[in-house]
Amino acid sequence: MKRKVSIFNMFLIVSCLLIACSGGGPVPDELIENADSDPIEIKDQYELKIGESGFTVDRRNRNILEFTLNSVEIADEINGKEAASEKDPERVYVIANFTAKNHGEIGISTQGIEYPVLVNGSDLGKIKNDAVTHRSDLLGIGDRITQFESSFNEVGPLEPGDERTGDVLIAADHRSDSYIIYFGYDMEYRNKLTWHFDAGEAN
């Protein structure tokens, strides 16, 4: 009887160890490049779609962050301010609604989160080859400063375990048939995330 109990206890211990080693963290196993590094290494995630989530690690705080692109809107003006001007007659606003979740142990101000950039939809190869390095390679850059209703850059840190949803404003140089929203341009993240959408998918 004691032998049976010992075998059963050993089975429970092994089962618990297997469950613990199987992950259980916020990042899906198939996205982990190296689980033994500190912090973990996460694979680049390309060609995500609207509604999908991507995971990254920020270099400064070593936090795992999760971003979900909920929706995208292309607009000629916001809060009565026209995107186009005499200097930039073709400029439009791209408004990306994101949910960000902090899976790390350190609070991050929304100003401390790297904002995405906008790239032409045909330039994924350049992103993969680290050839998107200058402003001339971009359609636009996420605006950390402009405040408007539902803007993401509200005051207050994103605490561990918290999530925040808001709009990121990008002034695009011109319209395109397809777009890429790209996290990782400023090298503040340890891996790259790209969301792809056609102009027709924007609200």
Domain architecture of the chain: domains with CATH = 28-201 (2.60.40.1240)
pLDDT computed for residue 173 by the predictor: 97
pLDDT computed for residue 11 by the predictor: 46
- Intervals of the chain under pLDDT 70: 1-24, 155
pLDDT computed for residue 19 by the predictor: 39
Q: What secondary structure letter does DSSP report for 199?
A: G
Q: What is the C-alpha separation between 74 and 25, in angstroms, rounded?
A: 35
pLDDT computed for residue 7 by the predictor: 52
Q: Rounded to whole angstroms, what are the CA distances from 74 to 114, 176, 191?
A: 21, 11, 27
Q: What is the C-alpha separation between 79 and 148, in angstroms, rounded?
A: 7
Rounded to the nearest 5°, which phi and psi values hold at 95? Answer: -115, 110
Q: Cα Rg for the chain, rounded, in angstroms?
A: 21
Q: What is the C-alpha separation between 189 and 17, in angstroms, rounded?
A: 31
pLDDT computed for residue 3 by the predictor: 52
Rounded to the nearest 5°, which phi and psi values hold at 197? Answer: -155, 150
Query: What DSSP assignment string belongs to 89-144?
Result: TT-EEEEEEEEEEE-SSS-EEGGGSPPPEEEETT-HHHHHTT---SGGG-SEEEES
Instruction: Decide if 124 contacts 179 (C-beta within 8 A).
Output: no
